[in-house]
Amino acid sequence: MRAPEWLTARPVAHRGLHDASRGIIENMPGAFQAAIDGHFSIECDVQLTADGEAMVHHDDALGRLTEGSGPLLGKTAAELKAVKFKDTTERMMSLGDLCALVAGRVPLVIEVKSHYDGDRKLVARMAEVLASYSGPAAVMSFDPDQVLALREKIPERPRGIIAQRNYDDDYWKKLTPEQRHGMLHLRHAFRTRPHFVAFWVNQLPAPAPWIARHVFGLPLLTWTVRTPEQRERAARYADQMIFEGFRPDT
């Protein structure tokens, strides 16, 4: 499979077309509707629940943008669907809810959030949901094990690896040295066989995405583009940007 043209045809709204100043919060229904209205592709995150559902949310735990507290993995889908985003009337969605809202009008680029423990239940649930979804949708993850699971369980969907040049900051200290080493330089690519790469804009250009793009012909998305300098870098080194904080058509 080659990555489809729709993957890079339009800018991709990071967690939807959100704007907190207008009460539109990332990964909530209003942000996705705004992206649809603007004809932008949608990037979103999915997390696993205690009862095996795929919920649309970036953080592992409640509290930053939502009411409540505690890890999503310790709550059921019904409990999470009752959770409101702060200062709004909107509630958390499942992946099925998102598919019903979007209904194929714009492409979805869905990130599998991983606990780096080898658990494949989230990808298994995504496979069930996406099996009945006819709209354009791509799937991706930072975790090579999850990309391998995507290859095995959702082979018909374009899959990507999210990557950066190094994994030295505090966020990645939860991983073992072996896990971090295995993520470097896209060295897992012959095992995971991604159809595209999503690379951190601040670390472009870099050898691994250059090789993936120019030698193997994989489209290169870049995240998260927020500033004019980042936008210029994205235009120079990537095929399309995952953006937030502005509208590319204005």
In a domain, 250, yes or no: no
Backbone angles phi and psi of 163, in degrees to 5: -150, 165
- Residues pairing with 41 in the sheet: 12
pTM (two decimals): 0.97
Q: What is the mean pLDDT of residues 36-63?
A: 98
CATH number at residue 92: 3.20.20.190
In a domain, 50, yes or no: yes
- According to the model, what pLDDT value does residue 12 have? 98
Q: How is residue 174 written in tokens?
A: 């939860």
Can you list the alpha helix ranges (DSSP code H) found in the chain? Answer: 6-9, 29-37, 77-81, 95-102, 121-131, 144-153, 177-183, 189-192, 207-214, 228-237
Q: How is residue 48 written in tokens?
A: 């696993």
User: Residue 80, SS3?
Assistant: helix
Whether omega before 209 lies within 30 degrees of 0, making that bond cis, reads: no
Q: What is the pLDDT of residues 24-46, one digit of tens each?
A: 999 999 999 999 999 999 999 99
Q: How is residue 201 written in tokens?
A: 């804009």
All residues at 6 or more sequence positions from 7 whose CB lies less than 8 Å from its CB, including other chains: 41, 107, 109, 138, 158, 196, 219, 221, 240
Which of 37, 47, 35, 31 is CA-nearest to residue 80? 47
Note whether 236 and 222 are within 8 A (CB): no
In a domain, 221, yes or no: yes
- According to the model, what pLDDT value does residue 1 have? 80
Range of the domain at 175: 6-243
In a domain, 1, yes or no: no
Please calculate the CA angle 173-72-242 and round it to the nearest 5 degrees: 65
Backbone angles phi and psi of 48, in degrees to 5: -85, 140
In a domain, 234, yes or no: yes
In a domain, 21, yes or no: yes
Q: How is residue 30 written in tokens?
A: 């209003």
- According to the model, what pLDDT value does residue 68 have? 96
User: Residue 210, SS3?
Assistant: helix
Q: What is the pLDDT of residues 1-28, one digit of tens each?
A: 889 999 999 999 999 999 999 999 999 9
- Distance between first and last Cα of the chain: 34
State the average pLDDT for the chain.
Answer: 97
In a domain, 249, yes or no: no
Considering its fold, how many domains does the chain have in total?
1
159-163 and 196-200 as β-strands: parallel, antiparallel, unpaired? parallel
